[in-house]
Amino acid sequence: MSVLIKICGLKTPAMLAAALDAGADLVGFVFFPPSPRHVGFEAARSLGQQVRNGVRKVAVSVDAEDELLKSCIAALQPDLLQLHGSEPPERVAAIRSRFGLPVMKALPISERADLSAVERYEEIADLIMFDARAPREASRPGGLGRAFDWRLLEHLALRVPFALSGGLDAGNVGEALRITRADVVDVSSGVERAPGEKDADLIRAFISAARAAAAKLPPRHDAAQPAAHGAGA
C-alpha cells in the first residue's frame, strides 16, 4: 500500500535536510506563535527554497485570517494549506477558493461521535486529517504528543484521502497503519528530543518504519490515494 509521510513542525535547515534526505513526501511549517514549532516568515522563505524534488510544502495555521494566510503563502509558496483550528466548512471553502490551493482540514478525535463532523468537510477539503483532541486545559490544538484510539478509524471509507496524526512515532506507526490504513501519516513531537527540537535519527527511524509497514499492507480500494505531485496532498 502506498503511504505518504509528512514531517511537520520543521524550523531549521539541518532538520529539514534530514527529513528530505530520509525521504519525506511532505514537510510542514507551522505559522502559529503559541506553538514551539512556530516559524517566522523570513525563516519560512529560506526553508521553502531548500525543498526540491517534488516534496510538497505544507503551511499549517490555526484559525488564521486572510492576511496571515496571504503572508504565509507569500513566504513559503506552499503546495497545501493545513487548517488546524476550528474553521467551519464555510471558512474552509472560502480559503480554498480565494487562495487556489488544496486544503487539508484537521479534525480532533477522541470518541466515535467526533467522526460525525467528517461529512461536513469531505465535500470541501482535499484531504482530512484526524488528530487527537487536545486536553481541555490545552492552549493550542492537536494531540500534543498523545494518540487517540485508532480503532475508531478502522474500515473508515471517505470520499477523500485521510491523514493520521497525534502521538505517532517509529515504534507505533506500523500498528497505526495496520489498523487505520491511512493515506498519510503525520509526525511532529514523535521525532523530537524536546518540544520544537527535531532529531535527525528519530526522523530517519520514523520514515523507515512507516515505509516498512506500508510495504506489508495490501492496496486500499475504498478511496483515491493522494498523489505526491497533485492536488489533494
Nearest to 149 by CA among 187, 178, 107, 111: 111
Short-list 17, 10, 55, 37, CA closest to 233: 55
Q: Which three cell numbers stand for residue 125?
A: 477539503
Residue 156: alpha-carbon gap to chain centroid: 18
Q: How far apart are CA 203 and CA 195, in angstroms?
A: 14
Q: Does the annotation count 8 as an active-site position?
A: yes
User: Rounded to an integer, what distance in angstroms lies between the CA atom of residue 182 and that of residue 2?
Assistant: 10
Q: Which of 131, 169, 183, 186 is catalytic?
A: 131
Q: Measure the CA angle with vertex 19, ends 15 and 24; round to 5°.
A: 160
DSSP 218: P
CA dist., res. 136 & res. 210, Å (int): 30
Look up 21 and say whether it is catalytic: no
**Pick the catalytic residue: 8, 72, 169, 186?**
8
Q: List the catalytic residues.
A: 8, 131
